A and B are shown apart, each in its own frame.
With several copies, the nearest count.
Chain A
Amino acid sequence: MAKVALLYFASLREATGCEREEVETGAADLAGLYAEAASRHGLQWPRERLRVAMDGAFAAWSEPPREGSEVAFIPPVSGG
């Protein structure tokens, strides 16, 4: 089990109702971590439309969650 903080932005924050939550996870990778969060909050975004970042850098979905890390699921961006 790893303890991680999850960050939510924009419509993902609206859907979860929170901008940050601490969770204990047994997920083997970040894809599994997203599946848990999507199930817990009823998130409709397919993982293919999102990117994931760990500790302030983009990461691969296949990476395992690091103990104590901060993980963000990034919906399509609309800056500029």
Chain B
Amino acid sequence: MGPTRSCTARFELATSDIDIGPLREGLLRDEAGAYASFEGWIRNHNDGRPVSGLRYEAYASLAVAEGQRIVEEAAGRFPVSGVHCVHRVGELPVGGLAVWVGASAAHRDAAFDACRYVIDQVKLRVPIWKHESYTDGPAQWLHPDEPGSPPRPA
């Protein structure tokens, strides 16, 4: 399944800061009346613990393949003009930009829906892991429980 209209659908990993200005401009289209974007920023807390920063690690080849599949699914499901996602890997400080998603479309329903679909699926499926550092204890890898899954091993 892929887009049937001519439409940009692109996923990338970034090893340095994401510059959103040109990414947004790459989605401008004369026929597009709506643009929705999402950004994930590093919070200063997680699960009640004070976060000092983090590092993202990816299984790069599979992450790019799975991310590309996700943006193409979004382009096939929703009538968008373009959809683009960039995920950062490496060290990030509190406030840093971890992930950006942008979608342009003739109408706002499709722009919002595509943007939401991409970030939700990226968080579920793309092999990227967060190594979180705290001000109150040792750093750890995050491996979220799925609903109903057995507890994480110690």
Contact = CB atoms under 8 A, between A and B. Distances in A.
A44 B154 contact: yes
Given A11-B141, A79-B130, A80-B99, A49 B150 contact: yes
Interface of A: 7, 9-11, 14, 43-46, 48-49, 53, 56-58, 72, 74-80
B145 interface: yes
Interface stretch (B22-30, B75-83, B117-125): B117-125
24 contacts: A10-B57, A10-B141, A11-B141, A11-B143, A45-B153, A46-B153, A53-B62, A53-B127, A56-B61, A56-B65, A74-B59, A74-B62, A76-B144, A77-B129, A78-B129, A79-B56, A79-B99, A79-B122, A79-B126, A79-B127, A79-B130, A80-B99, A80-B119, A80-B128
Q: Which of the listed residues B65, B140, B142 has the most CB atoms from chain A within 10 Å of its own CB?
A: B142
Nearest to A43: B153
B58 interface: yes
Contact of B127 (A9, A43, A45, A48): A9
Given A9-B57, A80-B119, A48 B150 contact: yes
B136 interface: no
Given A10-B143, A44-B154, A78-B143, A57 B99 contact: no
A62 B98 CA distance: 35
Contacts of B123: 77-80
Contacts of A14: 141
B59 A72 contact: yes
B10 interface: no
A27 B62 CA distance: 24
Interface in B48-88: 56-59, 61-63, 65-66, 87
B124 A77 contact: yes
B78 to A, nearest CB: 19
